[in-house]
Amino acid sequence: MKKILIANRGAAAARILRAAQALGLRSVAVYSEADADLPYVGQADESFCIGPAPARASYLNQDLLLEVMARCGADALHPGYGFLSENAQFARRVEEAGHCFIGPSSKWIDVLGNKASARELMQRHGLQAGGSTGILPRDDMATVRQAAQALGYPVLIKPAGGGGGIGMIPVHDPQSLSGCWERASGMAEKAFANPALYLERFVPSPRHIEFQFLADRFGNVLSLFERDCSTQRRYQKVIEEAPAPAIDRQAVAGMAERLSAILGEIGYDVIGTVEMLYTPDSGFSFLEVNTRLQVEHAISEAVTGVDIVQAQIRLAAGEKLSSVISGQPAVAGHAIEARVYAEDPVRFLPSPGVLKTFELPQPRPGLRIETGYAQGNRISSHYDPMVAKVIAHAADRAAAIRELSGALGGMRIEGIKSNIPMILQVLASERFQAGVMTVDGLQEVISTESVKELA
């Protein structure tokens, strides 16, 4: 492997570029017309415009991405997260063209990147999973209604491909099902070029715990422990931390060991995250497998010292796990990540516009900021509104919360609205401080009037 095409944008592209440079690999950035001025585009060894702003005409254009690969002579492609990162057809096309797809083999994206078939496979290996259906016909509402009735309301509509909470819609009664189904399908098709949906039984007030794994193509699997991603807004993660607080460590370690054994048994490779729901009464329940790099990978990097993106590249290139990472890492300290979005902190509406001021805290030990933007850049309405990820790492959780709060409070963003006031209120809340947030807990700790004052 000598040259990597980075088939993504924003913070994901900037992060992959940094890993490629650290490994001495040449890099190729692709960008839409809306992203032409973003800093990483000029930092890559080569860059190519791949079309207008809409994702379907640019970042989801498989033919054009493969054409750019052939034109520039890249021998590998990193999909980042979102877009085509869990599109098995695209991964297979990259492989069939003789290139390396920097992710799991296409067969695993096909089986596990599809959330419905992933549940079936994991249930066969003995994992508990809540009720769900297979993929349901897009235009046959009679079948969809029957499936929802069989599960029992409330149900959750979920896209079979993709992630990030996009297209996930809870439905509490039969009257709402048709409209929600149509809306979810349209969102999934726009974001992932895959409109397929399935239904899942809605679990009230769980915690969202996920387990990070690396694997080689020789049957070896390594656990990089767990992350707690329970602080969410409309199923979109906002704050993540590692390790998970206020939870039985023996139960967590046992689940990590069990998942490692399953992934090794089936021959899974390169990188993956197994997401679970957790309640004190019922324990862990399988949710899905993310067959890609996660947005929140940085907190696992912070507590283990492992560069996950570099490891992903090397494992995809065929290296053995033992040559990439020496032994089982240990957890050191506590790390918390906040996702800073261009959105109104009270109404949560997107706030696209120009970053007239974008001043970040000075780098220091224990503080890391990932972004694809610089002052003067425009936050486009065509993409996810995440502006930056702010990661704090300290000796203990309380110190990490203080470091993250201080860093967020020191950021100056003008020209757009951001969700920083809301994040600061959540970090200061009694519920977050106690480490017992659930996926529906964020709204409960937000006081609209207090957020207005902070904003």
Would you say 263 and 272 are in contact if contact means Cβ atoms under 8 Å apart? yes
Q: How many CB atoms lie within 10 A of CB 42?
A: 10
User: What is the structure's pLDDT at 302?
Assistant: 98
Report the C-alpha gap between 375 and 369 in whole angstroms: 15
Cα separation, 276 vs 263, whole angstroms: 15
Q: How many CA atoms lie within 13 A of 351 on its CB side?
A: 19
First-to-last alpha carbon distance for the chain, in angstroms, is: 47
With beta carbons less than 8 A apart as the criterion, state whether 214 and 312 touch.
yes
pLDDT digits (tens, 9 = 90+) for 311-343: 999 999 999 999 999 999 999 999 999 999 999
Burial of 327 (0-12, 13-18, 19+ CB in 10 A): exposed
Q: Return the H-helix or E-strand segment holding 209.
A: strand 207-215
The pLDDT value recorded for residue 131 is 74
Q: 3-class secondary structure for 79-97?
A: CCCCCCCCCHHHHHHHHHC
With contact defined as beta carbons under 8 Å apart, do 13 and 40 qualify? yes
Give per-residue pLDDT as tens, 227-268.
Answer: 999 999 888 999 999 999 999 999 999 999 999 999 999 999
Taking CA atoms, 455 is separated from 19, 127, 409, 423, 443, in Å, by 35, 44, 11, 11, 17
- d(CA 141, CA 184) in angstroms, rounded, equals 13
Please tell me the pTM assigned to this model. Answer: 0.90
Q: Write down all domains in the chain, each with its CATH number in brackets.
A: 3-102 (3.40.50.20), 131-201 (3.30.1490.20), 207-454 (3.30.470.20)
- What's residue 455's pLDDT? 64
Cis peptide before 154 (omega within 30 of 0): yes
Relative to beta strand 207-215, strand 221-233 is: antiparallel
Q: Which residue has the tokens 């065929």?
A: 318
Q: What is the pLDDT of residue 41?
A: 98
Specify the pLDDT at position 453.
63
For 298-426, list the strands marked E by DSSP.
334-341, 353-354, 357-359, 367-371, 378-379, 386-394, 412-414
DSSP codes joined into one string, 23-83:
TT-EEEEEE-GGGTT-HHHHHSSEEEE--SSSGGGTTT-HHHHHHHHHHHT--EEE--SST
User: To which residue do tokens 């203080």 refer?
Assistant: 402
**What is the predicted pLDDT for the residue at 452?**
63
Tell me how far apart the alpha carbons of residues 178 and 27 are, in angstroms, rounded to a whole number. 45
**Burial of 434 per CB tally in 10 Å (0-12, 13-18, 19+):** exposed
Report the DSSP beta bridge partners of residue 223. Answer: 213
What 3-state class would DSSP assign to 316? helix
* Phi, psi angle pair for 206, to nearest 5°: -85, 170
Phi and psi at residue 254, to the nearest 5°: -65, -40
Which residue pairs from 124-128 have beta carbons closer than 8 angstroms and sit at least 24 positions apart in sequence?
A: 125/262, 125/265, 125/266, 127/258, 127/262, 127/286, 128/282, 128/283, 128/284, 128/285, 128/286
User: Looking at residue 448, what is its pLDDT?
Assistant: 62
The Cα–Cα gap between 422 and 424 comes to: 5
CB count within 10 Å of CB 424 equals 19
Residues with a catalytic annotation lie at 292
The count of other CB atoms within 10 Å of the CB of residue 348 is 15
Cβ-defined contacts of 18-27 (< 8 Å, 24+): 18/309, 19/307, 19/309, 19/310, 19/313, 20/78, 20/313, 22/307, 22/310, 23/310, 23/313, 23/314, 25/1, 25/313, 26/2, 27/3
- Separation in Å, CA 428 to CA 225, 333, 371, 390, 424: 26, 20, 24, 16, 6
Residues of the chain predicted below pLDDT 50: none
Give the integer Cα–Cα distance in Å for 151 and 172. Answer: 12
